[in-house]
Chains A and B, each alone.
Chain A
Amino acid sequence: MKKSFIALAVASALTVPMVAQADTTLFGSARFDVTDTDSADDVDSATNRIRFGFSGEETMDSGLTAGYFIRLQASGIDGNDGAAANGNVGVSKVALFIAGGFGKLILGDADSPVQRAEGVQTLTAMFDGSLEVAGSEFSHGGISYESNVYSGFQFRAGVGDVDSDATSAEDSYGFSVDYSNDLLDVSIAAGEEADASLFGIGGKVKLGAFTVGAAYSDKEDFASYGSLSAKYVVGKLSLAAQYETRDLDAAGAKDWDSVNVSAQYALGGNASVTLGAIDYNDAAEAGGKSDTVTLRYAISF
């Protein structure tokens, strides 16, 4: 009798906050990888990424929508991989937004427009974009704008951390024009990052069970990037491949090339198994890249 009363009290205590936060969505994902890395000459298994977070939106008195996206991440919880060892959890992405008839204003983390243009054509399930040149997203202090979609067209613009005393690494901005329909996604973007101008164009087109994509980008005084990718979907199975090249501007520097392939099978219930591999050329390996094969079991919620 006493136990029933306690259980009822606990249930009531849990129920009240759930009702109060009914518009909040809890989401997350976890991966278990078995990885064979060429440089380490080692096979390693690890729960190498756990992410979870909350997102939601509310209507303000003005009628505009206020929203939030907060994602936390624990890396390398087996203590062997990554910086956040032994179960440490950190904030990996935070973005607040205000949306209305004018579009959406995003405050916080967001992909820079050029970074997004590079990634539009990403089709492989693992190792994609390893040689991209616009690697920096607008970090926590970023301010971005996304227009509404007009006949498939959308305009984006944004700046990175706003800090007049900051180093040039945080001094970034960019804008893009995207077009999207059922078969086609294209993004053209330009901007600046670390005092270097950036330009990028990427797209993908769906041809039945096949999707093919391509991207080109250039970062001043650093490198240009090119990519070709393809994906073939059969039911719950997808096979994909990507070729990437980074043409370094430095005198005498050799091009970095990579080929990555993946096979992903959806097990249902938001679980999947993925086998991926990436192979770099000698110049990329000399620059610190390593050939890798990974077998991954992942689940999201």
Chain B
Amino acid sequence: MCRLKGLKYLLVSMVLFLSVGVQAQQDIDPLESYNRKAHSFNNFLDDVAFKPLAKGYRAVTPDLIETGVRNVFGNVRDLGTMVNNVLQFKFEHAAVDLARVLFNTTAGIGGIIDVATVMGLEKHSEDLGQTLGVWGVPSGPYLVLPFFGPGSFRDSPATLIGVDAWSYVNHVPTRNVGYAIRLIDSRVQLFEFETLISGDEYIFIRDAYLGLRQQAVMDGVVDETFNDDDF
């Protein structure tokens, strides 16, 4: 359901951005030349490393375990979401996030089972980039970083310094294995969206990313004024 919602946002955002025009594209992507090189580098890394690893992971891991692993990292991520909801003064959401972590960590056996969602506690997704956006910090130009992928002048640094509860795991081998599994699992989740890409892959991903980020900052509210001339 969530993914369908995300797909809907993606398509809406594509329409919005395609209607903005060439001038706007220069505003949002003045570093296109560099970004395309970084994008190609990331694609190369994906082809030789991440994609094969993700395929292998999905092939050997039963769906049940895959879901459990995803839930564990989702539970940890809920802590970061809670902090960002507090920073955005969304205390009701933060309270629900806290309850999610408490119930999933105990009744959900360390977060393996997402009992909170079954109970009716809605899952949220917030990060530092969204928090900065809510505070009024503009997205800035589109920016692709090697290894880290699509971002912006606001979101990419926020990703690097944002609240990642997993980084507080003291046992270094556990923490590093966790990072690796989380990365691979994130890549697995992208498989189903790859078939949607058409035309210039770079532009498709850029526009989709920027549109989704705008949606995330605005909590799904599209703040665009349509002009008949755009159609």
Which residues of A come within 8 Å of B, CB atoms? 34, 209, 232, 234-237, 239, 263, 265, 267, 273, 275, 293, 295
Q: List 21 contacting pairs A-B, 8 Å CB cutoff, sorted by A.
A: A34-B106, A209-B92, A232-B95, A234-B96, A235-B92, A236-B120, A237-B95, A237-B121, A239-B95, A239-B99, A263-B98, A263-B99, A263-B102, A263-B103, A265-B120, A267-B119, A267-B120, A273-B107, A275-B102, A275-B107, A295-B106
B88-132 near A? 1/0 per residue, CB < 8 Å:
000110011011001100110000000000011100000000000
Nearest chain B residue, comparing its CB with the CB of A233: B95
Q: Which 8 A-B pairs have the closest CB atoms?
A: A234-B92, A234-B95, A263-B99, A295-B106, A263-B102, A275-B102, A237-B99, A239-B95
Contacts of B92 in A (CB 8 A): 209, 234-235
Nearest CB of A to B118, in Å: 10
Contacts of A293 in B (CB 8 A): 106
A273 to B120, CA, bound (A): 12
Contacts of A295 in B (CB 8 A): 106-107
Nearest CB of B to A226, in Å: 26
Nearest chain B residue, comparing its CB with the CB of A209: B92
Nearest chain B residue, comparing its CB with the CB of A262: B102
Contacts of B96 in A (CB 8 A): 234, 237
- The answer to whether B99 and A265 touch across the interface, beta carbons within 8 angstroms, is yes
Contacts of A237 in B (CB 8 A): 95-96, 99, 121
Which residues of B come within 8 Å of A, CB atoms? 91-92, 95-96, 98-99, 102-103, 106-107, 119-121
A274 to B119, CA, bound (A): 12
A263 to B82, CA, bound (A): 15
A232 to B86, CA, bound (A): 14
- The answer to whether A265 and B119 touch across the interface, beta carbons within 8 angstroms, is yes
Contacts of A275 in B (CB 8 A): 102-103, 106-107
Sample of 12 more A-B contacts, CB < 8 Å, known A209-B92, A295-B107: A232-B91, A237-B96, A237-B121, A239-B95, A239-B98, A239-B99, A263-B98, A267-B119, A267-B120, A273-B107, A275-B102, A293-B106
A234 to B102, CA, bound (A): 15
Contacts of A234 in B (CB 8 A): 92, 95-96
A236 to B103, CA, bound (A): 14
Nearest CB of B to A126, in Å: 13
Contacts of B102 in A (CB 8 A): 263, 275
Nearest CB of B to A264, in Å: 9
A234 to B106, CA, bound (A): 21
